[in-house]
C-alpha cells in the first residue's frame, strides 16, 4: 500500500517536485476522540518516512507515552493533576447528560458559562506548560520542525507555529457556530442555507483570536458530503471525514460464535462512547428491558454496574472491536451516542443508527443522520424501554433506513482518494511547498465593511447624494435668478 501510495503521488509528474524528503512534523497535544482520530494520520506519516513528534501534557487521559507507538513524544508539565481533569469531566458529563434536561434556560446559561470558564482556565494552563517553559520552547526551536499539525480544540498551536515560523495545518470537526471556520478561516456561510453547528450553544465559548488562526495553511475538516449538507467552502478547506475508517477484520472466535448464533435476525451493536462508562442503574435496567424485547442479539459495550435481569439475547462487554462488528454482514443496527468517529464507522459500513446523543456535537451529528434518513433519535432522560425497542425495530424493519445508509456509504467510498490519503496528501503538500499561500483567499486582508463592499456602497451613495444636492441647489439657484430677473423686469415695466 505504501509503495502504491508513493507511486500514485509521483505519477504523471514532469519535474521532481514531489521527490519525497522525510520531514520533521510537530503535533499539538489533543485528547479523547480527537486523539483517536489524529492517530491514523500520524501512523501514515510515519509509514511514509516522516519523523513525527507529539506534544503530550503530564495530565492526559488518552495519550499514553508507554504505548508502543512509532512517533516521538515531547512531554510537558500541566500544572494540575489527571484527577482534577477527570473530576471536571465527570461534572461536565453529569450536567450534560442528566441535569440539563431539567434546568431552565437561565440555569443552563449560568452553568454553561462556568464550565466554559473552567475549560478555558485548563486550556491556558496547558498552553503555559508549553510556551512559558523555556526548556520546551528551546527544544521546539532546536527541533527544526517543518510543520505543525493541530486540532484547534486545544488552543495555542497557532501561536507556537507563529513563534517557530513554520506552516500550520488544522484538523477539526467544527467549532461552535462554526466561528473559527467563518471568522478565522473566511469560509462563507450564508445563514439562509448553511446551518451553524450548535448555534443554540450561545454564548460562544470559542475564543476568536483570528489573527493567528487565520494563518493556517490548510484546514482538514473531519466530515464529508455523506454527512455534511452541501455548502460553500474554500480551496484550503479539505473535507476528510472518515480518516480512521477501515475494512472490517475477522472477529475473535467467541465473538464470531455469538454473532453467528443470531441467525437471520442478526445483531445490534450498542455503545455510548469511550467517555461514558456509567449510567444510572435505573437507566441501565430500562435499556436492558427494552433490548430484551427485540429478536436480534445485542452486543453492549458497558463498564458500569450490570443490570439486574439480563435477557439471553444481550451480552455486555468491557470493550468491543466496534469497527469490525459494524462491518460484519450480520449487523442490523447501531445504537450510538452520536460521536463523529462512531457515526463515520456506521456510514463507512452502511449501518442504520438509533442515536442517544448526550453532549458536544452529538445532538447536531444525530440531526444530520436523521435528516439523511438513516437514524432515529432518542433522549436518554425521557425514553421508556418500549421507545427503545420501537426505535430499533423501526430502523431495522423500515427498509428506507438501510437503503439510505447504503447510499451514504456509497457516497463515502466513491471519491478520488480515501479520506486518510487526502489528509496525508495535503499535509505533505504543505511540507513540499512550505505552506499553501496560493489557496488563501484575499478576504483575509479585508475588514468586515470592505468584505461586504460597504465602503464602495458608501462612496457611491455619497456621490449620488452629492449629485442630487448639487442638482437641487443649481436648479433653485437658477429659478431664483429667473424669478429675481422677472421680478426686476416686472418692476421696471411698472
The residue (of 44 and 409) whose beta carbon lies closer to its own copies is 409
- Tell me which stretch binds its own copies (CB under 8 A): 37-45, 210-218, 436-444, 478-486: 436-444
Binding mask 222-261 for its own copies (x = CB under 8 A): ---xx--xxxxxxxx----------x--------------
The residue (of 103 and 441) whose beta carbon lies closer to its own copies is 441
- C-alpha cell of 375? 437514524
450 near its own copies (CB under 8 A): yes
Q: Which of residues 287-346 bind its own copies (CB under 8 A)?
A: 327
40 near its own copies (CB under 8 A): no
Q: Which of residues 13-32 bind its own copies (CB under 8 A)?
A: 13-15, 17-18
Q: Give the C-alpha separation, 61 to 83, whole Å.
A: 10
The residue (of 171 and 223) whose beta carbon lies closer to its own copies is 223
8 near its own copies (CB under 8 A): yes
Q: Give the C-alpha separation, 424 to 243, whole Å.
A: 10
- Tell me which stretch binds its own copies (CB under 8 A): 28-36, 93-101, 257-265, 448-456: 448-456
217 near its own copies (CB under 8 A): no
Q: Give the C-alpha separation, 455 to 344, whole Å.
A: 44
CB of 372 to its own copies, least distance (A): 9
- C-alpha cell of 485? 430677473
Cβ contact 137:163 at 8 Å: yes
416 near its own copies (CB under 8 A): yes
Task: Tell the burial category of 387 from Cβ atoms under 10 Å away from its Cβ (0-12, 13-18, 19+).
Answer: middle
The residue (of 88 and 451) whose beta carbon lies closer to its own copies is 451
273 torsion bin: left (phi>0), alpha (psi -120 to 50), beta (else)? left
404 near its own copies (CB under 8 A): no
Which residues are 371's β-sheet partners? none
Three-state DSSP state, 313? coil
- What residues have CB less than 8 Å from 368, skipping those under 6 apart? 227, 228, 229
432 near its own copies (CB under 8 A): yes
Q: Which of residues 168-197 bind its own copies (CB under 8 A)?
A: 187-188, 190-193
Which residues are 55's β-sheet partners? 74
What per-residue string of b and e applies to 214-239 under the rule 16 or more CB within 10 Å gives b? bbbbbbbbbbbebbbeeeebbebbbb
User: What are the residues binding its own copies (CB under 8 A)?
Assistant: 4, 8, 11-15, 17-18, 187-188, 190-193, 225-226, 229-236, 247, 327, 348-350, 406, 409-411, 413-414, 416-418, 421-422, 425, 429, 432-433, 438-443, 446, 450-453, 456
Amino acid at each position: 500500500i505504501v509503495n502504491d501510495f508513493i507511486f500514485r503521488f509521483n505519477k504523471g509528474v514532469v519535474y521532481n517536485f514531489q521527490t519525497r524528503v522525510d520531514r520533521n512534523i510537530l503535533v499539538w497535544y489533543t485528547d479523547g476522540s480527537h486523539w483517536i482520530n489524529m492517530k491514523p494520520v500520524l501512523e501514515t506519516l510515519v509509514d511514509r518516512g516522516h519523523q513525527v513528534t507529539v506534544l503530550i501534557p503530564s495530565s492526559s487521559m488518552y495519550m499514553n507515552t508507554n504505548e508502543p507507538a512509532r512517533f516521538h513524544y515531547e512531554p510537558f508539565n500541566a500544572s494540575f493533576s489527571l484527577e482534577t481533569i477527570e473530576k471536571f469531566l465527570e461534572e461536565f458529563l453529569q450536567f450534560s447528560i442528566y441535569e440539563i434536561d431539567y434546568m431552565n434556560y437561565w440555569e443552563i446559561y449560568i452553568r454553561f458559562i462556568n464550565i466554559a470558564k473552567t475549560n478555558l482556565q485548563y486550556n491556558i494552563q496547558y498552553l503555559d506548560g508549553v510556551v512559558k517553559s523555556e526548556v520546551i520552547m528551546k527544544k521546539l526551536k532546536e527541533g527544526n520542525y517543518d510543520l505543525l499539525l493541530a486540532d484547534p480544540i486545544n488552543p495555542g498551536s497557532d501561536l507556537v507555529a507563529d513563534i517557530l515560523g513554520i506552516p500550520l495545518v488544522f484538523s477539526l470537526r467544527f467549532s461552535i457556530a462554526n466561528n473559527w471556520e467563518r471568522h478565522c478561516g473566511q469560509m462563507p456561510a450564508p445563514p439562509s442555507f448553511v446551518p451553524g453547528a450548535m448555534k443554540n450553544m450561545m454564548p460562544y465559548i470559542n475564543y476568536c483570536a483570528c489573527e493567528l488562526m487565520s494563518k493556517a495553511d490548510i484546514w482538514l475538516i473531519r466530515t464529508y458530503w455523506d454527512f455534511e449538507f452541501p455548502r460553500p467552502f474554500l480551496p484550503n478547506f479539505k473535507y476528510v471525514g472518515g480518516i480512521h475508517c477501515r475494512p472490517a477484520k475477522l472477529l475473535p472466535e467467541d465473538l464470531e460464535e455469538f454473532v453467528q448464533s443470531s441467525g437471520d435476525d442478526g445483531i445490534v451493536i450498542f455503545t455510548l462512547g469511550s467517555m461514558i462508562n456509567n449510567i444510572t442503574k435505573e437507566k441501565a435496567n430500562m435499556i436492558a428491558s427494552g433490548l430484551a424485547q427485540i429478536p436480534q442479539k445485542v452486543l453492549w459495550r458497558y463498564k458500569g454496574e450490570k443490570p439486574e435481569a439480563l435477557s439471553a439475547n444481550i451480552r455486555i462487554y468491557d470493550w468491543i472491536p466496534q469497527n469490525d462488528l459494524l462491518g460484519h454482514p450480520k449487523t442490523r443496527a447501531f445504537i450510538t451516542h452520536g460521536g463523529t468517529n462512531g457515526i463515520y464507522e456506521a456510514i463507512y459500513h452502511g449501518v442504520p443508527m438509533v442515536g442517544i446523543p448526550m453532549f458536544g456535537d452529538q445532538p447536531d451529528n444525530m440531526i444530520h443522520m436523521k435528516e439523511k434518513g438513516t437514524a432515529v433519535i432518542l433522549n436518554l432522560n425521557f425514553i421508556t424501554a418500549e421507545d427503545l425497542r420501537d426505535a430499533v425495530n423501526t430502523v431495522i424493519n423500515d427498509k428506507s433506513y438501510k437503503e439510505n445508509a447504503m447510499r451514504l456509504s456509497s457516497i463515502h467510498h466513491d471519491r478520488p482518494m480515501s479520506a486518510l490519503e487526502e489528509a496525508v496528501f495535503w499535509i505533505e503538500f504543505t511540507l513540499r511547498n512550505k505552506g499553501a499561500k496560493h489557496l488563501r483567499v484575499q478576504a483575509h486582508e479585508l475588514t468586515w465593511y470592505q468584505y461586504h463592499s460597504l465602503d464602495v456602497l458608501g462612496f457611491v451613495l455619497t456621490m449620488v447624494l452629492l449629485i442630487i444636492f448639487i442638482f437641487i441647489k443649481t436648479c433653485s439657484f437658477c429659478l431664483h435668478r429667473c424669478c429675481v430677473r422677472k421680478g426686476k423686469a416686472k418692476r421696471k415695466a411698472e
